[in-house]
Amino acid sequence: MNRRRVLKIAGATVVLAGSALAWRAFDQGVFSAGSGAAYEPWKNWQADESPRPLRPVRAAILAANPHNSQPWRFRVTDNAIDVFADTGRNIGAIDPFLREMTMGIGCALENLLIAAATEGYSAEIRLLPDPGNPAHAAHVLLAPGTRISSPLYDAIPKRHTNRGPYDTGRSVPADLLEGLAALGADLPGTRVIWFNAPEARAKTGELIVAATEAIVADRQQSVDSARWFRASWQQLQTFRDGITLDAQSLPPFVNAAAKMLPPLSQESADHAWLQATRERHVATAAAFGLIVVQDARDNAMRIRGGRLWQRMHLWTTSKGLAVQPLNQMSERADRELQLGIAPRFGTALKELVADAGWQALMPFRIGYPTVEAKPSPRRDFKSVMI
Ligand SMILES: Cc1cc2nc3c(=O)[nH]c(=O)nc-3n(C[C@H](O)[C@H](O)[C@H](O)COP(=O)(O)O)c2cc1C
């Protein structure tokens, strides 16, 4: 073969490989983060759907929720909205007693109520109105009222869980932490505990990493968690739920490479999560917090705890702060109870709370972001209506 022919073949190979890469990049949505049908609900959440009060539901589905399982359903009439848990969308051994699912319903309810107030409705809320149906989380009776606009409403489409590194050179001022904890004053039986002194922060961080190790070592928890990971762009656009690569706030090059390469094995994915927890989530937290309630098995308190989380998340968004739930300790404590094994993390949580009158509901971290968090997919509100 002469030299010119070799060069021609080499050139064609490079072009083909380039095209294949470009196609893979396109197919995997490398340059499309936040676009497509799966992200439309973030953009059209204020669309008019009169005469029924549908906009509060459009706001509700943008709420935080465990593993982005979106475990909710809504029934809307002219003057009421009923909120139901969609228990089939549970996250298995990660949440065996539906603690997180019920909190997620509380998060949705909070967005719904903030949007209803901004729409000019006064709302009367009955939690768990049907003793025969524990999935019936709330009945919200609406009547014409005064429009109440708030920065929390404006933050609804901007709020995203931030899993990126936080600014290690910036602590969160004590008055901001106090302001955050005070947001739950009207939610009886809920409270926030802060771990921001160096020693308390180090101890909490170590426990979170240890609990992550325990989840990774528990085959069932690992599998049930992975079930909600959406590795391909097509999967993400089809199911419009679950945890995505874009929601990890990885450096752009790493994110693009992760999208282009074949999905990681379960073992490698677990390892990557453990590493991110240790080196990013825990290592860069300015402080840890813990939402506590008087009875963590009581669904009304879980719903109120969820409302508090959503409110805190909207408030932090409006102040330029970042937050991320880090539920590993609670997930292990529930799993210990389910399996009847020694309560290692159950005891650790009790020690962190250090008050027999209160029980741990959800640990989280807070700090100033170094990268902007991206939105997660959402199912259309019509698909969650009864
Ligand atoms: C009850 C509850 C538990 C959660 N636990 C975790 C967690 O342990 N780790 C994490 O990174 N995110 C956690 N999240 C955040 C969700 O994964 C996130 O809300 C969901 O993927 C939707 O994304 P968004 O909040 O950006 O809209 C939790 C959220 C809720 C409401």
> pLDDT tens digits, residue range 21-45?
666 666 777 777 888 999 999 999 9
| Side chain identity, residue 6 | V
Say yes or no: CB of residue 316 within 6 Å of ligand 1. Answer: no
Rounded to the nearest angstrom, the distance between the alpha carbon of 148 and the centre of ligand 1 is 28
Rounded to the nearest angstrom, the distance between the alpha carbon of 69 and the centre of ligand 1 is 9
The tokens describing 304, both together, are: 């109120």
Say yes or no: CB of residue 302 within 6 Å of ligand 1. Answer: no
CATH for 37-157+376-384 is 3.40.109.10
Look at residue 122 and give its three-state secondary structure. strand
In this chain, the answer to whether the domains covering 37-157+376-384 and 174-367 adopt an identical fold is yes
Rounded to the nearest angstrom, the distance between the alpha carbon of 291 and the centre of ligand 1 is 14
Minimum CA distance residue for ligand 1 atom 6:
325
Residue-wise pLDDT for 350-361, tens only, equals 999 999 999 999
Task: Answer yes or no: CATH 1.20.1730.10 is held by domain 174-367.
Answer: no
Rounded to the nearest angstrom, the distance between the alpha carbon of 247 and the centre of ligand 1 is 10
Rounded to the nearest angstrom, the distance between the alpha carbon of 17 and the centre of ligand 1 is 38
Q: Domain map of the chain by residue range?
A: 1-31, 37-157+376-384, 174-367
Predicted TM-score (pTM) of this structure = 0.94
Residue-wise pLDDT for 60-91, tens only, equals 999 999 999 999 999 999 999 999 999 999 99
pLDDT of 245 strictly over 70: yes
DSSP-derived secondary structure for 62-120: TS--GGG---EEEEE-SSEEEEEE-GGG--GGGSTT-HHHHHHHHHHHHHHHHHHHHTT
Say yes or no: CB of residue 65 within 6 Å of ligand 1. Answer: yes
**What is the number of the ligand 1 atom nearest to the C-alpha of 328?**
8
Say yes or no: CB of residue 163 within 6 Å of ligand 1. Answer: yes
Say yes or no: CB of residue 327 within 6 Å of ligand 1. Answer: yes
Percent of the chain with pLDDT over 90: 84
**Residues contacting 131, CB < 8 A, separation 6+:** none
